[in-house]
Structure formats: structure tokens, C-alpha cells
Structure 1
């Protein structure tokens, strides 16, 4: 059973990596012309433990607020380079963007991706000053699987037992967060198994484990919806009704609001072309609206940080 799951996962991974890189090369053509890029910086010993740093050329201030982005891909595929366009667009909000790769399933299962996120953030905290980053203004962001990773880390900062449960030294997790940008993510690994979304069971089980006992146990730890507290940072949450994972965003937004967390929502009806992954297609009205709303949210966070430092 496990070997069949692995074979399917590797096949899906290979397919989406090929077409993702080809599509990314086309969609991202010319997207880096307005940023200064530092490529493939190591934050760990493995080949997947790399990040890119994007600084907008238009930024006049020496120290910029920081955005750390985790890519999507169902925890089994994709790469930060496919996200050059998204990262560069977010950087134009006068943010220093760290675009992070992490170990992927099925070669590296849970909790490898979460461990890498923590290691990357620790590296960023220790080194961001050298790249012109402001340690008092940090935002985590991600789409799809990356939204799960970003929101899980924010939960673990408030509920540090989560770090211990996945083998992370919580003493290294010191960096307070100003906010989160979350696009069409997965936040509940139990409910997601019933979602009408291509390959979702394959993605989730490749990441958490195919055995029922392992899946249930790991899903309790990995599901951000189970660990939200009133101390959670402000959230910008975006998704579209056409997306098979839309219910995940609705449920997470409800949980955030019931916990008293500031949650700015941009939810698209079926009238908009806002299928899963719509951010890549930056000419779509939904994509333009999402980036504009995310930019307004980031501006509000950086302005509040500036007022707090005065």
C-alpha cells in the first residue's frame, strides 16, 4: 500500500514539477527586473534547504519590513523559482522577501517541511540585518501547502508544545510576527480528505503518512485550525469559491474570528476566475485584486510597526 502511494506521489510530483517549471518560466518572464535578487542561499545542509532574497530596487529606506514566503505544491512538488513572480510582486510593497524552499514528500515526510520552515526562519532572524531587514516587522506568507506551513508556525509560536512535538528547538523561535498572508490554504487535515480537489488525499497522505493511526495523530499536530489562540497575529486570508479547498478558508476564518483574531478576508464568488493557484495569472482581475488587497494589508502592518517604534 505504501509503495503504491509512493509510486503515485512520485508520478504526480514529476508531472507537476515539469509543467510547473515550464509554466513558471513563461509566466514569470521579466518579473525580476525591478528587484535585486540573491539566489539559492543555504539555510541548512540539504539541497532543498535554500532560499532566495528579493529586495525592491525602488525602496529608499535602508531597513525594510520582512516577508517570508513558503510555496505551495501539495507538500510534494513545486519550487521557489516557480514563485519568482509572486515573490517579486509582493516585494514591490517595499518588503524584503525571503522565498523559501523546503524538503518535500514523499522523500521527506512530516514533519520535515515544518522543521525546515523553523530552520529557515531562524536563519533569517540571525542574518536579515545584513540584507537590510527589520527584525521588528516580520510577516509570514504562503499559498496552498505553504499557507498551512506559515499558519502552523504562527500557531506554534503561541503554543510552543507544537515545536517539541515535531522536534524543533523552541528556544530558536524568538521572532515575533506582525501578520500572515494566507492564500487558498489547507488548515484542517481531517476535513480536507473530503474536499473535491484533485489528488488531495494523495497529497495529504504523502505528507502525513498513509496509515490511519499515523495520519490521525499527525493531523492533530499539523492542522492550524486546532491551535489558534487569541494571541494569533493579524491575518489576510484570500480564496475563491471555485476552489475545491474554499471551505478550508471559510472554516479557518471563522475560527480566527471566534478567537478574536483580526482577519481581513478577500473571498471571491464564482463570478471571478479565482480557481486554485490564480495568483500565478497576474493579468486576471482576481489576481490583481488579491495583490492590491494584500499590499494594503502589508502597508497597514508596516505603518503600525513604524508608529510603534516612534
Structure 2
């Protein structure tokens, strides 16, 4: 029922958000120093299972790799929406992979996680062809994408959690992850949240699979977690910092901008015209470089 109720709302929000994002991205272009290998098929779900590889045109040896998990409330967005952000990250000396995944309400949980796994499995099997160094692998995600990074990184680092899923995970692990303006322990937030209900349409069936916090161990990668004063998910940062510290997971956090700045808001870091976006993306990439 929630699927049927949410479809008209999702279509309306997709249209409105796309208009706003088009305004934000007006006049942007792919940096001349970056090449983009587009629309590589990584799975069996057609347009939903395509990825791009962004990398500097000039490099020597293998490149450390950032994989971007796009945001959009699990029902909106794709790699094209993030093309300027991901190509911009590549100017800092990384190969940057961005990928589409199936969206709810048409494709509820665990479709998103299955596609994350398919994308990373493809990368694990084909990295050498694109001069990607899997020994220096990093994930970034914002909003719902941060949730997917949190969830999937837990899967990669806990064999007990893997047993709850039907697919096999690849033998890779990110050195560090960037959790940007995200939401995390959604099993505790389902009540009264129609977006989450459109994503987790069968909470009884998947009750254990969405208890991510329960399965996070000290093997989880190092974390950079950030937000901004006017981000509606700002309050998620401190509890997660304390949670990671309690697990002996290295964590760095930062809140960018001021309350008086309206641009210091949700997913500000993809708005490349902002000084705080450049500051944040520099900080996050420099954090990753510590592990290279």
C-alpha cells in the first residue's frame, strides 16, 4: 500500500528537485583535466546498473579510488546529477566511480544494497583495466547515500551481517569513508516516516537486515563525518561520532559554515560555487590521502 501511495508524491518531488538541481548546476562543466568513461554496465538492471569512471587525464601508476554513492532519499537521483561533483573530486588525484542504483518506491529495499554490491563487485573484478588501486579504496555518500555507505561498509566488514543477505560480497574494504549530511540508524526512525516506509516496504521481513548499528565492528573503516548548521540532519553527527569512538573506529567530524549562512545547508558540498563546498571536499580528500 505504501508503494502505491508514495508513487505520485515521489514523481512530484523528483520533478521539483530536478528543477532546483538544474539551477544549482547551471554553467558548470567537466574540468578539462578530467576524462570520464561513461555508462559502463555493471549489472543486470539496464539503466539502473550503469556507472561512470572519472579520472585525471594525466597520471602515472594506479590511482586511489573514491566511489560515490549518490543521495536523494532513496527515490531520487542518479550519477548524472553528481557528474560535476565527482569530476571535481577527480582533480584531486583520484579515480572517482559514480553509479546508478534502483530507486524506491518502485524498487524497495534491499534493491539499493544489492546494486551497491553489484557495483563494487564489478569494480573488484575490473579495477586493473582502469588503473584503479583497490588497496586504496574510499567511499563517499550524502543524505540517503551516506546511509548506503554506512550500511554497505558494515556488510563488507562483518561476516555475520553478510549471512543475512542472499548475495556474496567481494573481498574488498574501503580504507575510509565520507559520511556527508547523512541519516544512519533508520530502523529506529521508521515510525511515521513515509519516505523510509517507501524504502523499507516490508519492515517485518527485513527487521534484522536494517539493524546496521548492531553489526558495526571495529573493522569498520575510518570515518569522516560532516554536516552544516542548516542541514535538517545536522543532529545526527554527534551521536554517530560517539558511537564510532565507542567502537574504536577512527572518526573525524566537522560542521561547515554558520547558522547565518543559508547556503550552509543539506548537501551543500555538491554546490561547487560555494567556498565551504571546496573547503569540505578538500578536507575529505586530504583525510583519504592520509590512508594512501
What TM-score do the two structures reach when normalised by structure 1?
0.86
1:286 to partner: Cα distance = 2.1
> In 2 relative to 1, CA 143–184 (structure 1 residues): closer, same or farther, beyond 3 Å?
same
Q: Structure 2, unaligned stretches of length 5 or more?
A: none
CA contact (8 A) 1:156 1:163 kept: yes
Q: Structure 1, unaligned stretches of length 5 or more?
A: 195-199, 303-310
Question: Is 1:56 aligned to residue 48 of structure 2?
Answer: no
Q: For 1:52-201, list aligned pairs within 5 A.
A: 52-58=52-58, 60-170=59-169, 173-192=170-189, 201=193
What does the per-residue CA deviation read over 1:148-181, in whole Å, with 9 as the maximum and x for residues that have no partner?
A: 11121111122223334232223xx201221111
Separation (CA, whole Å) in 1 of partners of 2:189 and 2:35: 38
> SS of the counterpart of 1:87?
helix
What does the per-residue CA deviation read over 1:22-57, in whole Å, with 9 as the maximum and x for residues that have no partner?
A: 336516x22332211101110012121010000112
Which of 194, 197, 206 aligns to 2:198? It is 206
Give me the CA root mean square deviation: 2.1
CA contact (8 A) 2:113 2:148 kept: yes
1:19 to partner: Cα distance = 4.2
Separation (CA, whole Å) in 2 of partners of 1:153 and 1:252: 16
- In the other structure, the counterpart of 2:11 is 10
- In the other structure, the counterpart of 1:308 is none
1:114 to partner: Cα distance = 0.4
> In 2 relative to 1, CA 77–219 (structure 1 residues): closer, same or farther, beyond 3 Å?
farther
- In the other structure, the counterpart of 1:226 is 214
> In 2 relative to 1, CA 218–193 (structure 1 residues): closer, same or farther, beyond 3 Å?
same
- In the other structure, the counterpart of 1:306 is none
CA contact (8 A) 1:192 1:248 kept: no
> SS of the counterpart of 2:199?
helix
> In 2 relative to 1, CA 270–19 (structure 1 residues): closer, same or farther, beyond 3 Å?
closer
> In 2 relative to 1, CA 224–34 (structure 1 residues): closer, same or farther, beyond 3 Å?
farther
